[in-house]
Amino acid sequence: MTESNLFNSIQSYGWVSIAIHWLSFLMAAFIFGIGLYMVELTYYDTLYNVLPEWHKAVGLMLGVLTLIRLLWVAFSVTPAFEGESGLQAVLARLAHLLLYCFIIVLTFSGYIIVTADGSDLQLFGQAWLGALFELSSDQAEWAGRAHRWIAYGFAALVVLHATAALYHHFFHHDNTLKRMLFPQSIENGD
């Protein structure tokens, strides 16, 4: 791995962007999966207290990673969209922006839910962030429903994003997917 492979180029994403992308995906899939599972748990289930802690911790890490990613995107070269019309490129950029927005909103709404009673955000028994305000039980319930439906919208957009990448790979036979798996070098014919 060379230093030039760490950073984005006009042709390809570098290892930093690739690592952030796939780590974000794994974290999002993990918290979505346990989020679906934990809402069905009852007080007597052995994972009743464990899964919410992991959901909160990984959700907070994903929110922070997304802020780091936004800084990285702002100060990095963005590879050109390959083989797309102007409208496709605009829609792809919009989808990426929406993915980032979904993660930030989900992180914030999750924080609002766990601090709704005015207590600190606790992770594994340690206080991390104080509450900004206290919500009534109706407001907290609304925030929980909003968090769930936003998560479903996010999951749908992730599926659309993955489908578009696979479409480009199998039907357009371009490097859209390949360049998010490993850095590409157009000069070397990779």
What total of structural domains would you count in the chain? 1
- State the CATH number of the domain containing residue 25: 1.20.950
Evaluate whether residue 185 is within a structural domain. no
Evaluate whether residue 17 is within a structural domain. yes
* pLDDT for the residue 1: 61
Note if the pTM is more than 0.85.
yes
Evaluate whether residue 92 is within a structural domain. yes
Evaluate whether residue 189 is within a structural domain. no
| pLDDT tens digits in sequence order for the chain, 190 residues long | 666 799 999 888 999 999 999 999 999 999 999 999 998 999 999 999 899 999 999 999 999 999 999 999 999 998 887 666 788 888 889 999 999 999 999 999 999 999 999 999 888 888 888 899 999 999 999 999 999 999 999 999 999 999 999 998 999 898 889 999 999 764 444 4
* pLDDT for the residue 187: 46
* pLDDT for the residue 80: 80
Candidates 117, 16, 23; CA nearest to 61 is 23
Evaluate whether residue 44 is within a structural domain. yes
Burial class (CB in 10 A: 0-12, 13-18, 19+), 73: middle
* pLDDT for the residue 124: 83
Evaluate whether residue 14 is within a structural domain. yes
Evaluate whether residue 138 is within a structural domain. yes
* DSSP code string of 106-135: HHHHHHHHHTTTSPPEEETTEEEE--S---
Q: Which domain holds residue 146?
A: 3-180
Helices (H) and strands (E) in the chain, counts: 5, 2
Evaluate whether residue 85 is within a structural domain. yes
